[in-house]
Amino acid sequence: MIGYLKGTVASIQKNPSNRVTLTLDVNQVGYDIQVVPRLIQQLPDLGEPVQIFTHLQVREDQMILFGFGTAAERDLFRQLVSVSGIGPQLAVALLDKMGLQDLVQAIVSGNTKALARTPGVGAKTAERIALELKTKLAEWRQHAGLSSLPSAGPTPEIQEDVEMTLLALGYTSDEIMQALQAVGQNTSLAKNSEPDAWIREAIAWLSQ
C-alpha cells in the first residue's frame, strides 16, 4: 500500500525492548515507522531529508509501518514473514543482527547455526527459514543484483566446530564472524580445511 516515504527526520525513539521508532515528517504529517535498529547509523540529522522503504502490517487492532533503508531489505523482510512462525518482530531482529548480505548468504547456504544466533530463533525455526527460502532467495538475489559470491568463511560443518572453540576461549560471536571472513579472504585456507587451521588463523587475526 505504501511503498516508500520521503520526508525529514522529526524524531528517533528507542524503547527498552530495542524497538526503534522513526517519526518522519512528510508534508507536515508525522508518520511513526518502526525501523531496523541498525538503520539509525545511516539516518541523517534531525530535519534532514531521507527516503524510507516501507511495509504496512494491518491487524484487527492496529496498523504498523515497518521501515528499511533499501528496497532489497524491505523485500527480504517480506520473504521472511511469509515463513510460518516468523512474525515481523523476528524478521526485524534477523535483519538487525545479521544485515542484508550475511542474512541472505546464511539462508542460501543453509547455515542454520548463524541464523540461530538471533534471539528468538531456535534451531527448528532456523531450519524452517533455510528450507522454505533457500531456493527463493538464491533466485531473488540474482534478480535483485546482490552479490552472489560465496562466503569467505569455512563450510558450515567446520564453522560450527571453530565457533564453539573460539566461544569457549572468550571471543564474541561478532568477533568470530569477522575473523573467519577476514581469514578466508586473506589466507590460502580452503573452505574445507581442518578446523584447527581455521582456529589458529582466526586467533592470530584476533590478536593483531
Lowest mean pLDDT among 20-34, 36-50, 74-88, 100-114: 100-114
Task: Dump pLDDT digits (tens) for 20-31.
Answer: 999 999 999 999
Closest CA to 99 of 159, 39, 18, 12: 39
Model confidence at 149, pLDDT cuts 50, 70, 90, reads very low
Task: Give DSSP secondary structure letters for 110-163.
Answer: T-HHHHTTSTT--HHHHHHHHHHHHHHHHHHHHHHT---PPPSS--HHHHHHHH
Most confident of 28-42, 101-115, 145-159: 28-42
d(CA 51, CA 7): 7
| pLDDT, average across residues 107-124 | 87
pLDDT, the chain, mean: 86
Lowest mean pLDDT among 139-143, 162-166, 180-184: 139-143
Task: Answer yes or no: are the C-beta atoms of 187 and 201 closer than 8 Å.
Answer: yes
Task: Dump pLDDT digits (tens) for 20-62.
Answer: 999 999 999 999 999 999 998 889 999 999 999 999 998 888 8
